């Protein structure tokens, strides 16, 4: 499978949009949504650098081009017949859980939102 | 405004007019999650069997073990397309799957696979009849637009305790069709009618069992109110509705709750509320909705879904082939029944009751009788007797032709209505003998002979001097008493209409 009308364009690093800065509230929200430990100085720096890198793509001329979601878009979506072929393996399913009770998984009650940190811009990283 | 009111009834009428004239308009939009009737799940081969042992119908993919991938169930695509066609939607030749992220113990992957930006079908429309309860209001036709139909996974089930939740993943990955309706409805009654018609359609095309009590169909309602001429008000979402009647009750309650708040100067909060069937109220849900950002992204493990239709051959199912499989839909049945002579209201009632409709169709096929009378007999007399005996139509083990036979006897004036009901009672009690035979054996033929009726009436007049005097002095009720006596004397076999005329003639002599 090959790309028709392949064009190469040059990225002018001087014409990038102004660098996006992430404020304390945003990084706190992102941390809460993703549960990824990133609300610290290094985390913010990494995120801002990643956005700056991605900004390059804004210079590509995409007029009249359909958005590309995946290069696999021409692969036919495989479907299966409606038959029961899996399951019935309770032991395997429950094997990795640290706490079970009468074949149920045990989880903490409801959703406990991540506690907001005092200062989301603290210097030290957690290892 | 309330001057000149003399009775309580007058006050009530004026008061309800006042509420209506307060110009609060209510707007309702429904979201329905219908479980697709299939053997296995949407993306895995685990079973969908109801009431299985805890965590038994869970594959490695369903509990999110790394290294597993989704594989789409063909039957689910067929069901989605069939439903979309039955609801007059535009089926998208290409649709995509997305990930909707949020954290909850019963969704081990941390995201739900759904179709947010390019769903299976969009822009549908369908009509249904609203038959208002009680009052003299007549039925009316209502049209509702469908915004979109998409395929998506269900999550598992949590049992909540004080200090922990117990999670069963049997339902994780079960195939759902989400139907999003435009907010075209105005109250709970219209919403319940919509759901009833939808259930009717889905059951006919066999894509969903619609058993709300098994969780096979869930209805969420978005409700808001606003003043005439003003923009739409803030809406609340009502969840946890478990029956068709609950749909009407929950929405009516919520509309009332919002009107009360606005009338006393408050504001409506955009929140999710749960319907509590026990207290018949909506309550704010436990998990207060914090800013939800689902971070939608395309599902990277699934290429786009192609549906073949028209000149396009590429696709895992063919929409045109599926369209041929759609059976007669409720609206078509109503039209067909009308052509048989039934009234508008009769067609609505019959089409809403599948068992009764089957009985009607079966009976109508076997005999040439007046179909309007047959429908009337089934709807009024049969149902009344069944209710009295606390029995469902399905419990009766007899050919529907028995009912047709009774209606024929009635039509030919061989028996009167009283005998007809008695015969139905016999059937309900398990008597397998054919109605005509029962009538012959017990000599239950209607007395229509004029001479015999005249003799009967004269006897009753002779035996009830007081009642006759009362009638002649103007007491109309006495006539009823005399008719009752005729009924008793003739063992309820007299042709009451004829007897009435004869009696009156004799009394006026």
Asked if residue B19 has pLDDT above 50, the reply is: no
Q: Which residue of B has its CA nearest to A96?
A: B65
Task: For chain B, give the percent of residues with pLDDT over 70.
Answer: 94
Q: Which residue has the higher pLDDT, B453 or B220?
A: B220
Instruction: State pLDDT tens for residues B364-414.
Output: 888 888 899 999 999 998 888 888 888 887 777 788 888 888 888 888 888
- pLDDT at res. B12: 52
Q: Which residue has the higher pLDDT, B453 or B193?
A: B193
Q: Is the Cβ of A82 closer than 8 Å to some Cβ of chain B?
A: yes
**How high is the ipTM of this complex?**
0.79
Q: So where are chain A's domains?
A: 1-63
Scan for tokens 């700056």, then name that residue.
Answer: A52
Provide the pLDDT confidence category of residue B337 given band limits of 50, 70 and 90: very high
Mean pLDDT of the region A11-15: 82
Q: So where are chain B's domains?
A: 8-305, 338-436, 450-507
CA pair distance A32, B293, nearest whole angstrom: 10
Provide the pLDDT confidence category of residue B353 given band limits of 50, 70 and 90: confident
Asked if residue A118 has pLDDT above 60, the reply is: no
Asked if residue B290 has pLDDT above 80, the reply is: no
Task: For chain B, give the percent of residues with pLDDT over 90.
Answer: 53
Q: Is the Cβ of B57 closer than 8 Å to some Cβ of chain A?
A: yes
Chain B hits for A31, Cβ within 8 Å: none
Q: Please compute, for residue B221, the number of CA atoms within 13 A of its CA located in the half-sphere on the CB side.
A: 35
Q: Is the Cβ of B53 closer than 8 Å to some Cβ of chain A?
A: yes
- pLDDT at res. B83: 97
Mean pLDDT of the region B315-338: 94
CA pair distance A94, B17, nearest whole angstrom: 61
CA pair distance B208, B202, nearest whole angstrom: 6
| B45:A83 CB<8 A | yes
Strands B272-276 and B121-130: unpaired
Average pLDDT, chain B: 89
Q: Which residue of B has its CA nearest to A29?
A: B291
| A109:B160 CB<8 A | yes
The runs of H, that is alpha helices, within B367-495 are: 371-376, 383-388, 401-411, 417-428, 435-441, 450-463, 465-472, 477-489
Q: Which residue has the higher pLDDT, B142 or B462?
A: B142
- pLDDT at res. B253: 94
Mean pLDDT of the region B191-203: 95
Q: Which of A33, A75, A87 sits opposite B59 (nearest CB)?
A: A87
CA pair distance B304, A72, nearest whole angstrom: 9
> What letter would DSSP give residue B377?
I
Q: Which residues contact A18 (CB under 8 A, 6 or more apart)?
A: none
Provide the pLDDT confidence category of residue A116 given band limits of 50, 70 and 90: low
Provide the pLDDT confidence category of residue B13 given band limits of 50, 70 and 90: low
CA pair distance A33, A10, nearest whole angstrom: 36
Q: Is the Cβ of B61 closer than 8 Å to some Cβ of chain A?
A: yes
Taking the CA of residue A14 and the nearest CA in chain B, the distance in Å comes to: 31
Provide the pLDDT confidence category of residue B339 given band limits of 50, 70 and 90: very high
- pLDDT at res. B251: 95
Q: Which residue of B has its CA nearest to A109?
A: B164
Which pair of structure tokens corresponds to residue B235?
A: 């809406």
CATH of domain B450-507: 1.10.10.410
- pLDDT at res. B113: 97
| B73:A102 CB<8 A | no
Provide the pLDDT confidence category of residue B151 given band limits of 50, 70 and 90: very high
Asked if residue A126 has pLDDT above 50, the reply is: no
- pLDDT at res. A114: 61
Q: Is the Cβ of B96 closer than 8 Å to some Cβ of chain A?
A: yes
Mean pLDDT of the region B481-497: 84
Q: Is the Cβ of A61 closer than 8 Å to some Cβ of chain B?
A: no
Instruction: State pLDDT tens for residues B418-442.
Output: 888 888 888 888 888 888 888 888 8
Asked if residue B4 has pLDDT above 80, the reply is: no
């Amino acid at each position: 499978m090959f790309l028709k009308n392949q064009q190469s364009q040059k990225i002018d690093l001087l014409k990038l949009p102004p660098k996006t800065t992430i404020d304390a509230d945003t990084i706190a929200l992102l941390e809460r949504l993703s549960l990824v430990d990133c609300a610290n100085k290094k985390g913010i720096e990494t995120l801002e650098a990643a956005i700056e890198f991605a900004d390059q793509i804004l210079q590509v001329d995409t007029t009249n081009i359909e958005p590309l979601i995946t290069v696999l878009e021409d692969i036919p979506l495989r479907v299966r017949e409606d038959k029961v072929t899996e399951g019935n393996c309770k032991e395997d399913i429950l094997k990795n859980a640290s706490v079970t009770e009468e074949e149920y998984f045990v989880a903490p009650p409801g959703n406990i939102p991540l506690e907001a940190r005092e200062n989301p811009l603290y210097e030290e990283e957690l290892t | 405004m309330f001057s000149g009111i003399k009775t309580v009834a007058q006050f009530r009428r004026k008061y309800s007019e006042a509420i209506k004239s307060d110009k609060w308009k209510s707007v309702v939009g429904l979201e329905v999650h219908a479980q697709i009737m299939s053997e296995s799940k949407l993306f895995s081969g685990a079973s969908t069997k109801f009431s299985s042992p805890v965590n038994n119908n869970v594959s490695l993919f369903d509990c999110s073990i790394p290294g597993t991938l989704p594989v789409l169930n063909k039957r689910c695509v067929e069901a989605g397309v069939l439903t979309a066609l039955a609801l007059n939607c535009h089926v998208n030749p290409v649709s995509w799957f997305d990930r909707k992220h949020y954290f909850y113990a019963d969704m081990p992957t941390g995201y739900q696979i759904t179709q947010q930006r390019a769903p299976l079908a969009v822009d549908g429309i369908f009509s249904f009849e609203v038959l208002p309860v009680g009052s003299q209001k007549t039925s009316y036709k209502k049209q509702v637009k469908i915004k979109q139909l998409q395929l998506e996974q269900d999550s598992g089930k949590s049992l909540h305790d004080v200090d922990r939740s117990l999670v069963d993943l049997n339902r994780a990955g079960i195939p759902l069709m989400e139907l999003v309706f435009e907010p075209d409805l105005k109250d709970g009654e219209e919403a319940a009618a919509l759901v009833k018609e939808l259930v009717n359609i889905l059951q006919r095309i066999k894509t969903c069992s619609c058993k709300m009590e098994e969780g096979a169909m869930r209805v969420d309602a978005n409700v808001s109110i606003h003043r005439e001429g003003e923009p739409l008000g803030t809406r609340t979402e009502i969840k946890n509705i478990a029956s068709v009647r609950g749909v009407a009750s929950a929405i009516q309650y919520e509309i009332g709750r919002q009107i009360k708040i606005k009338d006393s100067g408050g504001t409506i909060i955009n929140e999710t509320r749960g319907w509590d069937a026990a207290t018949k109220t909506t309550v704010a849900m436990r998990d207060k909705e914090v800013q939800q950002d689902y971070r939608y992204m395309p599902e990277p493990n699934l290429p786009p879904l192609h549906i073949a239709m028209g000149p396009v051959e590429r696709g895992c199912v063919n929409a045109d082939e599926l369209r041929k499989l759609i059976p007669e839909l409720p609206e078509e049945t109503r039209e067909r029944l009308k052509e048989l002579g039934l009234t508008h209201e009769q067609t609505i009632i019959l089409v809403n009751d599948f068992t009764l409709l089957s009985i009607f169709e079966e009976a109508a096929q076997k005999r040439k009788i007046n179909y309007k009378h047959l429908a009337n007999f089934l709807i009024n007399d049969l149902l009344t007797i069944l209710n009295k005996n606390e029995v469902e139509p399905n419990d009766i083990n007899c050919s529907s032709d028995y009912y047709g036979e009774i209606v024929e006897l009635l039509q030919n004036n061989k028996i009167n209505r009283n005998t007809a009901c008695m015969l139905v009672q016999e059937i309900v009690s398990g008597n397998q003998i054919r109605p005509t035979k029962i009538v012959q054996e017990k000599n239950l033929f209607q007395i229509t002979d004029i001479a015999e009726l005249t003799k009967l009436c004269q006897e009753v007049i002779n035996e009830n001097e007081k009642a006759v005097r009362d009638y002649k002095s103007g007491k109309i009720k006495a006539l009823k008493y005399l008719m009752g006596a005729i009924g008793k004397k003739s063992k309820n076999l007299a042709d009451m209409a004829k007897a009435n005329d004869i009696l009156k003639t004799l009394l006026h002599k």
